[in-house]
Amino acid sequence: MNSILLRLTKLHIRFFAGGRFVRTQIMKAPDGKEQEVAIFSSIKPASLGECTPFKRIIIHESVLNNERLCNYVLIHEMAHKKQWWSFFKIPLCFLVLLGLIYDHWGTMYVLTLVTLFAFSWILELNADFVVMRHIGLDAFLEIRRELRKIYKPALSYIVVSWLTHPPMGVTVRIWRWLHKQGRF
């Protein structure tokens, strides 16, 4: 990681992930692909992994102790890194800000906000589907159940997560529908 990206990554970790930078390291996904990631620490992390707006992956150090969880987070974030269309979030965020300034919670602002959240749901569905293709639906569900037991995010992150990530039941139903796996 070059020095400019490393500085931007450290700033992202500090201000958006609520943690401190520990180190960079090369991680290997189950399919053998290597990825340089930034490891961070935090007492109460906002998330266990993220793909930053400048396409750098950050992972909380606690994830490294659990190989299955580590693979899940790494594959999920690598999928986000490949989502070239994620850059459309930038103009959508700009429209949300303009709507807030000029429309004051009017129809256009709400419509833009809903569009931004729906777009985020699509990005998250895509990343989860990549994980499911790599490890299978049953292993995915098992990891998600395990994750609920060990990771207790702050209430503010839970609210943001509801807006930006589809519920697991919705993700599984769409996956099964797309792959014709049983009933809803």
Residue 107 lies in a domain: yes
Number of separate domains in the chain: 1
Residue 9 lies in a domain: yes
Answer for the pair 13, 58: CB distance below 8 angstroms, yes or no: yes
Q: For 118-169, how does the pLDDT look when each residue is reduced to its tens digit (9 = 90+)? A: 889 999 999 999 999 999 999 999 999 998 888 888 888 889 889 999 999 9
- The C-alpha atoms of residue 78 and residue 154 are separated, in whole angstroms, by 25
Residue 124 lies in a domain: yes
Residue 115 lies in a domain: yes
Residue 94 lies in a domain: yes
Residue 97 lies in a domain: yes
pLDDT on residue 136? 94
Give, as one character, the DSSP assignment of residue 85: G
Q: Which residues have a Cβ under 8 Å from the Cβ of 62 and sit 6 or more positions away?
A: 45, 48
Q: For 67-94, how does the pLDDT look when each residue is reduced to its tens digit (9 = 90+)? A: 999 999 999 999 999 987 766 767 776 7
Sheet holding 57-60, edge to edge: 20-28, 34-41, 57-60, 49-51
Residue 20 lies in domain: 3-179
> Mind giving me the DSSP string for 16-81?
TS-SEEEEEEEEE-TTS-EEEEEEEE-SS-S-SEEE-TTS-EEEEGGGGG-HHHHHHHHHHHHHHH
- The C-alpha atoms of residue 166 and residue 172 are separated, in whole angstroms, by 10
Residue 184 lies in a domain: no
Q: What is the mean pLDDT of the chain?
A: 88
